[in-house]
Structure 1
Amino acid sequence: MRVHSLFLYPVKSLAGIAVDSFELDQFGPAGDRRWMLVDDECQFVTQRTVPQLALVQPSLGADGGVSITLPGQPPIALQASGENLSVRVWRDWVQGQVGCDAANGAVSRFCGLSLRFVFMPDSSFRQVQTNLATERRRVSFADGYPLLVTNTASLVELNERLAVSVDMRHFRPNIVVDGAAAWSEDSWQAVTIGEGSYRVLKPCSRCVMTTVNPDTGEKAASVQPLRTLATYRRTADGIMFGMNAIHDSPCRLSVGDCVIVNQSE
């Protein structure tokens, strides 16, 4: 098995970036979801309620800086203003820094909502979900864990059930693995990729974001692919596609890296 593709999401719930490699730091993939959008109540905002965010494209500079490009507009650099703000992502309140007025105003006009970008600085600590990873480990503004791993064969099997195929962007993974049997990831526990080791903690419960077309920023009226997944991938914890994972130590990950899996008995 090999790493088929890798993705970074510099801003939570904006479009992703396909990359050839990335470094893993204490937060997860370096630069992944260190920015997010919040409303006037300091609550995080995603494509679940604002699907057109899929059309806002981030980019990474050579210095690690992030810019965003809205449709038909020039890029705008995201810069932390230095103003501290306590913001909420799911159940967690996290100390962040408000982004610059130019970017805040542009995305607010595009979405027709009052929105602000917020950056998570190194000084801010958010604990990964502790039901499966009990040690003190930090995570960015990602939903709960640093990494989402998916399997190309599982997507192929799902598409065989759909009238209109979807691509992996609907599921927003960080690591896509090729060469495994469909749904074999359900039993993965520990994975070695290149020189790094990873713990596969739990299946990822999917939501209405999987129905947002990444090219149009519109939700599918058919509620696909979520509706079909629900017919055979539903558990007590939700409708599953992909696996949440955590890395054991900082390392570098590249497309083409060998993947070795230890499966449960």
Structure 2
Amino acid sequence: MRVIQIRRYPVKSMLGEVVEAADVGERGLAGDRLWAVRDPDGKFGSGKNTRRFRRMPGLFGLRAYAGEPAVVELPDGRRFAADDPDGHRAVGDLLGRTVTLAPESGVPHHDEGPVSVITTAALRRLTELAGGEPDGSGVDPLRFRANLLIDVPGSGFPEDDWPGGELRIGPDLVLRPVRALTRCVMIDMAQERAGERNDLLKTLADRHALTFGVYATVERPGRVAFGDAVIPRPR
């Protein structure tokens, strides 16, 4: 088992970046989900409506890069620092609403936990259940906006057995999987190369209790890098 993809999303619900390595601390990957789009009511932009979040179509047309502060790239190639009022206005114009970009303060911008993990085995199983992408490839991992994609042989949901145990990654990092990640309509939305679908969420609801992947807390901080070995320790 090895790490074959590392992703972070410096602004919640925007497109993010693939990195070769990242430091991982108590709140997760360095630079991940440190900012969020916020409307005048104080709700954060998302692909869904909840008590905390407001659905804002168009966020997947924006890309964010980690930095101090994060940098937001618009579809026309313009870039703004996340704390630039001109950038806030440009993002608002694109979304058709008044917004600002807010740094994380008391409440984390993560949905459920600091580090999210999916496996290639689970992607193969979901492809078997729902079919792959139009180009003939399997279900695209970017749909799940996970921090870590772990290569696991075979087909199934091996991560279902991880909560309560440990994941030892590379020389130092230790994660503690907490529970399965409940999914929402965002996995069927078009983003980057993955087109719109209407079947993945229904398939997970019917066949896997609406969950895919797990979220984990950080038991021991460390660095994760592409190719790192992953050793699960059962609970």
TM > 0.5: yes
Specify the SS of the correspondent of 2:205: helix
Pair 1:145 & 2:118 matched: no
Contact 2:140 2:194 in 1 (8 A): no
How far apart, in 2, do the equivalents of 1:225 and 1:150 lie?
Answer: 15
The 2-side partners of 1:33 and 1:70 are apart by 18
Runs of 4+ off more than 4 Å: 216-219
Residue 106 (1) aligns with residue 90 (2): yes
- CA deviations over 1:134-177 (Å, ceiling 9, x no partner): xxxxxx31012101010011111111222442301110100111
User: For structure 1, which runs of at least 5 residues remain unmatched after alignment?
Assistant: 80-99, 127-139
Q: Is 1:43 aligned to residue 18 of structure 2? A: no
How far, CA to CA, are the matches of 1:209 and 1:116 in structure 2?
Answer: 22
Residue number among 206, 218, 224 corresponding to 1:253 in the alignment: 224
- The 2-side partners of 1:119 and 1:161 are apart by 39
Matched, 1:191 2:167: yes
Look up the equivalent residue of 1:214 and give its one-letter code: Q
* Residue number among 224, 236, 242 corresponding to 2:199 in the alignment: 224
1:52 CA displacement: 2.0
**1:153 counterpart SS class:** helix
TM-score w.r.t. length of structure 1? 0.78
The match for 1:74 is 78
Matched with 1:116 is: 100
208-217 or 109-118: bigger deviation = 208-217
Q: Answer yes or no: is the 8 Å Cα contact 1:51–1:219 preserved in 2.
A: no
Does residue 1:52 correspond to 2:58, yes or no? Answer: yes
Give ranges in structure 2 of 5+ residues lacking alignment. Answer: 49-54, 134-138
In structure 1, distance between residues paired with 2:194 and 2:82: 22
The CA RMSD measured in Å over matched residues stands at 1.8
Whole-Å separation in 1 of the counterparts to 2:131 and 2:2:
29
Q: Report % sequence identity.
A: 30
- Residue aligning to 1:173: 146
Q: Any idea what SS the aligned residue of 1:37 has?
A: strand
Residues 89-122 of structure 1: per-residue CA shift (max 9 Å, x gap): xxxxxxxxxxx311110111101111110012xx
The separation in 2 between residues aligned to 1:257 and 1:230, in whole angstroms, is 32
- Aligned length, in residue pairs: 220
Tell me what 2:179 maps to: 202
Aligned partners of 1:193 and 1:259 also within 8 Å:
yes
* Deviates most, 19-28 or 43-52: 43-52
TM-score (norm 2): 0.87
Contact 1:68 1:76 in 2 (8 A): yes
2:16 and 2:66 map into 1 onto residues whose CA distance is 11
Partner of 1:33: 33
Query: What is the CA–CA distance in structure 2 between the aligned matches of 1:29 and 1:52, rounded to whole Å?
Result: 25
